[in-house]
């Protein structure tokens, strides 16, 4: 059996569903299953990002020591730019009709791509764990405020219900997720507007205006945190939903609707969250311990139950997309199980991780920021390399050869792998993670490069994420152009075996250029 046979089960037309469960995995979506319009991408992306958790980012951002206007500008710009990256990668899904981590093989090679697939898997499992834990903590806090039992029993029941919803969506797959996200978008959107109206009275514009301005390192640190907290957390899944669109779908629409759907709710929620957190230092501190439960503390009693609904649904909307994509990333890393089994395995890991966060960890924001920044560095390098490849590539992907290491994309593209490693080494040297003691080794380049060391002004600017993104992008733009041109000059129906025989030496030379 070839790599092609293993990665592309014979799934066509109606066979893609069995008892309602999606059977498509890493395979290219069959022509008969491609459907919809770019505007349909609005629903999954809006539903995944409409969570009231977005309000908490206002507190996180002000924690960098910046003013309201600084926080608003870097927050809005960071959100939109980060999701624009998702829009560009979603374009690859339309052009290749395959999952993100399969299309990435064109950049890293069929086997070399397993490294970034593991990184993608870790990031998505981490995010779904965080979102699940937040839903449980929020439920327990609200129940306590209602005078009901908010202890261990409530947390256990909430964990079971939330995990069941997320795992069901991930296992059943694409069609259920699209339906779920539509419902989540409508219900959560309406209830979030009601929440904003109810807490308007807690905003103190005088206190917000008095927030002192931060220096350039503080502003840049906030900007990078917005990148990693929003779009860079989704780039590795951005093509998983656009892959079902017809090839005739308008490219600008794919980019535009992905970016708009993803950014709309976070931008509104962030600005309001900055106003709330800037009005009360006590509330801002409480958000760091329980980001969503703290937001319930300023609500009237009668709206607490609807608040639980909006909080849980919003978090489930994000986690469902994560568990679906984490299953695909697991398959791309080399695990040979059906897609729905992979999603089930990730669901178990997600549940175990959520148990740790809810019942063991004493702090939320510290480990959360450490997680985002640490994995954000290599993912940023991957994102830069992938987007550069997309921008240089003028033709659709040679579908069959994405699954065969003898084809034009090769087994391992050492240039791209090297860019990930270089970007990560440089990036980790320029970020700090004092939030988590086990990450204290990071920031080793801040002193040698004259940036003040781990205690200096630039220590929390997290420049490493931006450096990794630029290294990945410019590396492919400068050194990978010739390889991509050579790939696209080959006929689409060329036999992979003959490509391997004729192209091996040339590919090695080009990747080493």
Task: Give backbone dihedrals phi and psi of 234, rounded to 5 degrees, phi first.
Answer: -120, -15
* Nearest C-alpha neighbor of 103 from the set 6, 303, 256, 240: 240
pLDDT at 510 over 50: no
> For residue 228, what pLDDT is reported?
86
Q: Which stretches of 149-280 are DSSP H helices? A: 152-172, 174-198, 205-209, 216-229, 239-242, 251-279
pLDDT of res. 494: 55
Range 439-455 average pLDDT: 89
pLDDT tens-place string over residues 273-319: 999 999 998 888 888 777 777 888 888 888 888 888 888 888 888 89
Helix, strand and coil percent figures for the chain, each rounded to 5? 75, 0, 25
Q: Is residue 94 predicted with pLDDT exceeding 70?
A: yes
Confidence of residue 121 (pLDDT cuts 50, 70, 90): very high
* 3 vs 293: which has the higher pLDDT: 293
| pLDDT over threshold 90, residue 108 | yes
Per-residue pLDDT at 6 exceeds 80: no
Q: For residues 106 and 403, what is the distance between their CA atoms, to the nearest angstrom?
A: 10
Percent of the chain residues topping a pLDDT of 90: 51
| Paired strand residues for 18 | 21
**Mean pLDDT score of the chain:** 86
d(CA 295, CA 316): 18
CA 356 – CA 361 distance, rounded (Å): 6
Record the tokens describing residue 101, joined without a space: 């981590």
Q: Which SS3 state, helix, strand or coil, does residue 91 take?
A: helix
> What is the token pair recorded at 71?
């926080």
- Taking each helix axis from N to C end, the angle separating 463-479 and 481-489, rounded to the nearest 10 degrees, works out to 50
Check residue 436 and give its pLDDT. 65
Work out the average pLDDT over 382-392: 96
pLDDT, mean of residues 237-259: 93
- The helix-helix angle for 113-145 and 339-359 (nearest 10°) equals 50
Q: With 0-12 CB in 10 A as exposed, 13-18 as middle and 19+ as buried, what is 453? A: middle
**How long a stretch of residues is the chain?**
513
Largest CA distance in the chain: 73
* Residue 182, token pair as written in the block: 């539509």
22 forms beta bridges with 17
Top mean pLDDT of 228-232, 237-241, 429-433 is at 237-241
| pLDDT given for residue 495 in this prediction | 55
Output 5 or 401, whichever has higher pLDDT: 401
Structure tokens at 473: 């992008």
Q: How many helices (H) and strands (E) does the chain have?
A: 22, 2
User: Which tokens is 58 given?
Assistant: 């206002």
Render pLDDT for 37-86 as a digit per residue (tens, 0 to 9).
Answer: 999 999 889 988 888 888 899 998 998 999 999 999 999 999 999 999 99
What DSSP string runs through 27-73?
SPPPGGG----GGGGHHHHHHHH--THHHHHHHHHHTTS--HHHHHH
> Quick check: 270 and 58 in contact, CB under 8 A?
yes
Q: What would you report as the CA-atom Rg of the chain, rounded to the nearest whole angstrom?
A: 23
Please identify which residue in the block is written with the tokens 């954000």.
376
Classify residue 35 as exposed, middle or buried by CB count within 10 Å of its CB (0-12, 13-18, 19+).
Answer: exposed
Nearest-CA neighbor of 46 among 203, 181, 138?
Answer: 181
Beta bridge partners of 21: 18
């Amino acid at each position: 059996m070839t790599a092609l046979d293993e990665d592309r089960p014979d799934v066509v037309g109606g066979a893609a569903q069995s008892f309602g469960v999606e059977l498509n995995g890493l395979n290219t979506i069959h022509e008969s299953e491609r459907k919809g319009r770019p505007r349909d991408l609005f629903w999954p992306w809006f539903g995944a990002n409409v969570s009231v958790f977005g309000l908490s980012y206002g507190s996180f951002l002000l924690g960098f020591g910046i003013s309201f206007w600084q926080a608003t500008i870097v927050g809005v710009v960071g959100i939109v730019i980060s999701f624009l990256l998702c829009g560009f990668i979603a374009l690859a899904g339309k052009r290749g009709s395959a999952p993100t981590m399969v299309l990435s093989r064109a950049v890293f090679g069929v086997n070399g791509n397993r490294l970034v697939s593991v990184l993608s898997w870790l990031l998505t499992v981490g995010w779904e764990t965080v979102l699940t834990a937040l839903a449980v903590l929020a439920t327990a806090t609200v129940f306590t405020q209602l005078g009901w039992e908010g202890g261990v029993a409530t947390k256990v029941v909430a964990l079971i219900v939330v995990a069941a919803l997320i795992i069901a969506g991930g296992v059943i797959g694409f069609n259920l997720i699209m339906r779920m996200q539509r419902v989540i978008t409508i219900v959560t959107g309406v209830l979030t507007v009601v929440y904003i109206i109810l807490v308007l009275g807690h905003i103190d514009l005088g206190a917000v205006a008095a927030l002192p301005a931060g220096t350039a390192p503080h502003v840049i640190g906030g900007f990078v945190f917005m990148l990693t907290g929003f779009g860079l957390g989704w780039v590795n899944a951005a093509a998983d939903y656009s892959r079902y669109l017809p090839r005739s779908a308008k490219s600008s629409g794919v980019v535009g609707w992905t970016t708009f759907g993803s950014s709309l709710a976070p931008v509104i929620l962030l600005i309001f969250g900055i106003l709330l957190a800037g009005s009360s230092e006590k509330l801002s501190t409480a958000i760091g311990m329980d980001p969503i439960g703290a937001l319930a503390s300023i609500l009237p009693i009668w709206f607490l139950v609807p608040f639980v609904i909006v909080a849980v649904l919003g978090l489930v909307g994000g986690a469902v997309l994560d568990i679906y994509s984490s299953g695909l990333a697991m398959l791309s890393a080399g695990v040979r199980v059906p897609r729905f089994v992979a999603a089930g395995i990730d669901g178990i890991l997600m549940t175990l991780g959520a148990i740790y966060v809810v019942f063991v960890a004493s702090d939320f924001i510290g480990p959360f920021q450490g997680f985002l920044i640490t994995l954000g560095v290599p993912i940023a390098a991957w994102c830069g390399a992938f987007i550069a490849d997309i921008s240089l590539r003028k033709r659709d992907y040679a579908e069959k050869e994405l699954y065969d290491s003898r084809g034009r994309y090769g087994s391992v593209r050492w240039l791209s792998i090297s860019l990930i490693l270089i970007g990560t080494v440089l990036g980790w040297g320029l970020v700090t993670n004092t939030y988590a003691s086990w990450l204290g080794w990071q920031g080793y380049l801040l002193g040698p490069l004259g940036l003040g060391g781990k205690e200096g002004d630039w220590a929390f600017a997290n420049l490493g994420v931006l450096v990794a993104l630029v290294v990945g992008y410019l590396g492919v733009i400068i050194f990978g152009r010739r390889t991509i041109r050579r790939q696209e000059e080959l006929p689409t129906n060329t036999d992979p075996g003959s490509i391997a025989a004729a192209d091996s030496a040339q590919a090695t030379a080009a990747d080493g250029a």
